[in-house]
Chains A and B, each alone.
Chain A
Amino acid sequence: MSNQSPDLAKTLRKKRNDILELWMKNQLADVSLREDLLTNEELRAQSEELLDVLLQNLNERNIAEVESADFEPVVEVLSGISISRAKQGFTPRETGLYIFSLKDALLTVVQQELKDDPAQLVTAVLTISKLVDSFGVTTFETFIKGREEVILRQTDEITEISTPVIQLWDNILALPIIGTLDSSRTQVVMENLLQQIVDTGSSIAILDISGVPAVDSLVAQHLIKTVSATRLMGAECIISGIRPEIAQTVVHLGIDLSNIVTKASLASALRYAFGMLQLDVKKTIREK
C-alpha cells in the first residue's frame, strides 16, 4: 500500500467522460426531468460546461478548500445556470437536485477508482461531498437572487402601468390611481402628471382615487402636495373617487381638504371640469 496520496483532482480529470456520461444518465433517468423547460441537448451542453470548468480549476490543493478563489470561474458558471433556471421556471428543488446528481456521478467514479484503498476512498468521498455541497449552497443563493430580480422587475412594471395619464378631453387630463399611494409612488404620479400638463397644455387635471384602499394622513399630504404642484403649473386639480368610508375616515382624522375641489365620482369631476371650461354637453334633438 502506498502512503503517497493519489491526486484526486487528476483522477477526476482523467475520468471526465465517464463522469459526464454517468451524470447525464442520472439526470435523464430522473422522472422529474423537465424536458418542457430545457431540451436534452441543452441540458447536456449545460452540464458539460459546468463539469469542464470545475475539472479545469480543480487541483490537489484547492479540492479541500471550498472557499478557494480558484473556484470563482466555477461559481460564475454555476450562478449563470442557477439564475437562468430560476427565470425559466425550474423549482429550487430541481436545481438543487441537478447539482447533487453531479455528486452521485463523481462519487461513483471515485468508488471504482479507489475500491482497493478504503482509507483513501473515505477521504475522497468526504472531500467531494463537501465541495459539491458548497456548490449546492451557491445555487440556492443565486436561485433566490434570480427570483428577487424577477420580483423587482415586476414591482417596477406595476408602478409604471398603474399610473397612466389619460387625456379625457381637450384641456382635461385624468389620472386614475390604483393601489397604495406611498412616497415613491406619489413621486412617479406627480412627475407623470406635471409632464403631461406641459406636453398637452391642459388646464385641468382629475386625480381619481377610487382604487386607493385607504387615505391616511400621509396619503392626504401627498394628495395636497400634488394639487399644490399642479396649481403652480397654472392648472387646476380635482380629486375624484372619494368613497363614503374614505370621506368619514378623513374627517375623523382631522385632515382639512376644504381647499381642494373634491368629487365623489370621476363623472361628476368631469362635469365640473366642463363647467370650468364653459363647455356644454347636450343631447341632440333630431329634426324630422
Chain B
Amino acid sequence: MIIPLNKEAVEVKKEQDTIFLRNRIKECATKTGMGLVNQTKLITAASELARNMLRYAGGGNVLVETVSKGRENGVRLTFKDTGPGIPDIAMAMKDGYSTGKSLGLGLPGTKRLVSEFDIKSTPGTGTVITIIKWKNG
C-alpha cells in the first residue's frame, strides 16, 4: 500500500513555472534521501510532462507528494490537465510519435525514467498522468 506522507499542489501555467516545480520536486526527493542519478531522472521526467501539459493542454496542476510503500520511500507526481486529451494512448507512448513536430520522446522517455507510470486520458476532458520514483528504484 502506498501512503502519502506530505503533499503540495503546484500550478503550471507558463514556462517559468516549471523551474519552480523542479525545485519543489528536488526538495522532496532530497528529503527522501534519493541519490543524484534518480533525482535527475525524476526531475527530467517531470520537466517532460510539464512541458506537454503547457504545450498541448495550455497548462494544468501538479500534485507533488512524498510517499512510502513498506520500507521504500519515494516521490509521486500527479499531472492533471483539462486539455483536449489523448485519443490514442498506445500511439502517444511510442518513441517518435508527435503531433507537435517534435522528437516524440517525452511520454515514452518519461516511462523509462521512472519506477511507476500511469496514464489516463479522455478526449475532450483531459489527461491525468501519475509517476512514482522510488528512492532506490
Contacts and interface: CB of A to CB of B under 8 A. Distances in A.
Interface of A: 180, 182-183, 213-218, 220-221, 244-246, 248-249, 252-255
Given A180-B19, A182-B15, A216-B47, A221 B40 contact: no
A244 B37 contact: yes
Contact of B102 (A180, A182, A221, A253): A221
B113 A253 contact: yes
Interface of B: 15, 19, 22, 36-37, 39-41, 43-44, 47-48, 51, 95, 102-103, 105-106, 108-110, 112-113
Contacts of A253: 44, 48, 105, 109-110, 112-113
A254 B108 contact: yes
Contacts of A180: 19
B22 A254 contact: no
B22 A252 contact: no
Contacts of A248: 37, 40-41
Given A252-B109, A254-B95, A217 B41 contact: no
A227 B48 CA distance: 22
A254 B41 CA distance: 12
Contact of B106 (A217, A244, A249): A217
A220 B113 CA distance: 16
B112 A254 contact: yes
B105 A217 contact: yes
A215 B109 contact: no
Among the interface residues B40, B41, B51, B102, which one has the most CB atoms of the partner chain A within 10 A?
A: B40
